[in-house]
Structure 1
Amino acid sequence: MTKAHFAIFLCTFFSVFLLGLQSKNVNQGRYTAAIITSFGISVAQFAFVKYAVAGSYYAFAFSAVGGCFGITFSIWFYKHIIERNQHGKKYTKRSIEKGPQKDEGNDPGSSGKGTQ
């Protein structure tokens, strides 16, 4: 593995990682995050082209592996870092799976529990 192969891996990793985050930013209407992420995508793709222009099959292999790791880390990062920071430290995997919980005791439309 040469420095160029490692650079191609990193460029593809960050490009795909940022593209994954960008998808979430756009879907959720996060304008500032989308602007910052777009800049990072441009930098990563520019660097990729710089190193991949004289590419070989080895370069393609490093690029493909970098993309696989990049999107996987993007999904993990969004779920465990960004969503956790948005919802506070008590936001756990179990609460993600269960979804929003309704406090039945204070709901006037419930079956009479907690109402007078």
Structure 2
Amino acid sequence: MSKHIVVIDDCKVVLAMASDFLAAAGFKVSTADNGVYSNHLIYSNTPPDLILLDVVMPLMSGDKKLKLLKSRDKSRNIPVLLISSKAEEELSELVETHGADGYLSKPFTASQLVRSVQSMLAA
């Protein structure tokens, strides 16, 4: 059965690219354009195997969403990969302080995205 990835990003282009890249690699992909309206994808009967989460978004920032995900029993163990164009030092710090499982800098290529997702799922 293919792994389910949820991509949360306010940029429609990033959502489309990530969705296409991951689907082409055999993953089942669901998308949301903000952290507030993504709970139905995360807390469904079939929770995702991994969440790709943009850091800078309106309504709810990715780091705030990450804190919520890691504080709830149902989502605490779902790996979260932050995606952002922020500086790598800042992303690395967010991973450390908020409990993300890793990060991927934007812009990314299809192979970078798929490789990051596969290595995180294999961990």
**Alignment TM-score > 0.5, same fold:** no
**TM-score normalised over the length of structure 2:** 0.24
Larger Rg, first or second structure (1 or 2):
1
Q: Which has the higher helix share?
A: 1
Q: Which has the higher strand share?
A: 2
Q: Which has the higher contact order (CA 8 A, sep 6+)?
A: 1
